[in-house]
Structure 1
């Protein structure tokens, strides 16, 4: 079994979900007392969040590159960045290490392709929805059209992520807002919705809607297990 390097803390709530899902899947596949070989480096999200909103992505890349080097030095065979947004700097991190990064958008695009999805809605932070680093990975690598909410709805989604979900706060009104926005995307032709922030699965699950959901935390964790067991 390969050793998985988890680069987490963004937020710690979703990192905990990664740890749980990966170990549950290892136990399911191998049985007995098997658990995953994991090295975890958890950063201080307060520091990262401030740099994100100041647009200082190079500084976030330095922090995460140093964390990734520590994972490599601790004998991780590959790295899982436990957040969608920070894949914006994944290519910079890769330049500073000698082990691969298992990209969350590639894992998600592969799953969408397997499900025959041609047009998908994307929810996530404003950075993930507005910028091209995530959408282009899915569009260019998997020939899938990615659509996002309007500007007002993007701000609603972003605010709920940072002011509630990253703090472990779950509100029914926020769930209603997300479901409303998801339905609008579905009405625009989205055959499914990417839960493109690792915290969104804390608020929304498949039982809440008839629209097909693609929870990136779950997808990414399962892809990590697949890689670990190769």
Structure 2
């Protein structure tokens, strides 16, 4: 089994999901007392959030690069950023390490392709939806994408950072996300990518009003396949 290095803590609520789901999948595949070989470097998210708010993406990239190098030095044979937004800094991480970086957008694309979806709604932080680093990568792989209007993007972003990344999940925010998904479905999306690692905790895919791809589940599936390739 290969050893994965996770860049975690962004937020720790979703890092728990990564750790649990990777180990569960490995145990199901191998049985007995088997568990996953994981190196987890969990950051203080307040530091990363300060860089995001300041739009210091060079600094954020340097932070991820340093984390990736620590993981590689510790024996990680590949690394994965356990969050969506910080994939904006994936190029800095890729340049800093000599091991593969398992990209979350590629994982979502693989699931969408397998299920036959062609038009994906993307629901996540403001920059995940509007900056282009995320939707353009999906479009380069043959998918059409829809995102909410800018005001709604700001609203979702506020819910994510004021509530979800702090472990707060309310019925009001759940209902609002479902309403937004309904609107994206009406615009022609045949599936929605839950492109914030905490949205799946708020609106589990089975409760969404259209087919949903949880970014954590998609990413974990790719990570586990890579880990098990050496078994």
Whether these two folds match at TM > 0.5 is yes
Alpha-carbon shift at residue 151 of structure 1 (Å): 1.3
Whole-angstrom distance in 2 between the partners of 1:205 and 1:157: 16
User: What residue is the counterpart of 2:83 in the other structure?
Assistant: 83
Gaps of 5+ in 2: none
How many residues of Structure 1 are paired with residues of Structure 2 in the alignment? Answer: 229
Whether 1:14 and 2:14 are equivalent positions in the alignment is yes
* C-alpha distance in 1 between matches for 2:119 and 2:80: 26
Q: How much does 1:222 deviate?
A: 1.3
Residue 126 (structure 1) aligns with: 126
Question: How high is the TM-score relative to the length of structure 2?
Answer: 0.98
Q: Which residue of 2 aligns with 1:201?
A: 200
What does the per-residue CA deviation read over 1:101-145, in whole Å, with 9 as the maximum and x for residues that have no partner?
0000001111111111111100000010011111111110x2000
SS in 1 for 2:133: helix
Aligned partner of 1:5 in structure 2 is 5
Instruction: Find the counterpart in structure 2 of residue 29 from structure 1.
Output: 29
Q: Distance in 2 between matches of 1:220 and 1:91?
A: 18
Query: SS of the counterpart of 2:217?
Result: helix
Looking at structure 1, the residues matched to 145 and 210 of structure 2 have their Cα atoms a distance apart, in angstroms, of 15
1:207 CA drift (Å): 3.0
CA RMSD, Structure 1 to Structure 2 (Å)? 0.8
Contact map agreement 2:178 2:209 (CA 8 A) in 1:
no
- Structure 2 partner of 1:222: 221
Partners of 2:136 and 2:206 lie apart in 1 by: 29
How far does residue 206 in structure 1 lie from its aligned partner after superposition?
2.6
What are the ranges of 5 or more consecutive residues in structure 1 without an aligned counterpart?
Answer: none
Q: CA deviation at 1:80?
A: 1.0
Q: 2:143 aligned with 1:144, yes or no?
A: yes
The answer (yes or no) to whether the contact 2:7–2:67 under 8 Å persists in 1 is yes
Deviation at 1:156, TM superposition (A): 1.4
